[in-house]
A = this chain, B = another copy of it.
Amino acid sequence: MRISALAAEAGLPVATVKFYLREGLLHPGAASSATQASYDDSHVRRLRLVRALTGPVGLSVQQARAVLQLVDEPGDDLYSTLGRAVGALPPAGAEAAGDADPYPRARAALDALGQVYDPGFAAVAQLEGALAAAEDAGMPITPERLARYGRAAADLASYDLERMPREPRDAVEYTVLGTALYEPVLLALRRLAHQDAAVRRLGRSSVG
């Protein structure tokens, strides 16, 4: 399969496929001569994955590369690989400013939820940023709501964890892609559930 066939298969312009090759998102084909390389199914699958990550998931090319690298070569330390993998996903967390208690809101939240607080984990910074943003916007999250959201998140996490593959390589792929790909699903479901609840509660006619 030459590059034009690959591009056609993936529904992308050849120029874009070349771009992904250059950017290291797609592994090179097997070079058969100075001006020829052959591509296979693995390239088609990879392109689909790249499009999924850069499209609906909303990763930048840089972020997608970081994620794919971790999936391709997970370290032998599963915990830190998972941490780095999730850290590679947006949104970026707030920078830790001072050294003393850099993430006060996140720490308080996790304490209240009875969860481990590890300031080195990227999602802590994300949580801090999200809580601060809600405060700044004048809609702080009440402890009660936080508890509710936290419980829901823990339920889902426990479900997901039970289904995590044993093999480290597969575990990283499962976690990274599961995080990246299922988050938009969860958000869409939450929005639709709001919609559904609104219809049921208010009645379509009474508000429309």
Interface residues of A (CB under 8 A from B): 45, 48-49, 51-53, 55-58, 77-80, 82-83, 86, 90-91, 106, 109-110, 113, 115-116, 118, 121, 123-124, 126-127, 129-134, 136-139, 141, 145-146, 148-150, 152-161, 174-175, 177-179, 181-199, 201-202, 204, 207-208
Contact = CB atoms under 8 A, between A and B. Distances in A.
B145 A149 contact: no
Contact of A182 (B149, B177, B183, B189): B149
Nearest to A80: B208
How many copies are assembled? 2
B199 A79 contact: yes
A195 B141 contact: no
Q: Does more than half of chain A's interface fall in helix, strand or loop, or is it mixed?
A: helix
A152 B156 CA distance: 8
A167 to B, nearest CB: 13
A113 B193 CA distance: 10
A127 B45 contact: no
A138 B49 contact: yes
10 contacts: A49-B138, A79-B204, A116-B199, A124-B192, A126-B184, A127-B192, A130-B184, A153-B189, A154-B196, A157-B197
Nearest first, the 3 closest Cβ-Cβ pairs linking A and B are A157-B193, A127-B188, A130-B184
Contacts of A156: 148-149, 152, 190, 193
A98 B202 CA distance: 32
A115 B51 CA distance: 29
B141 A148 contact: no
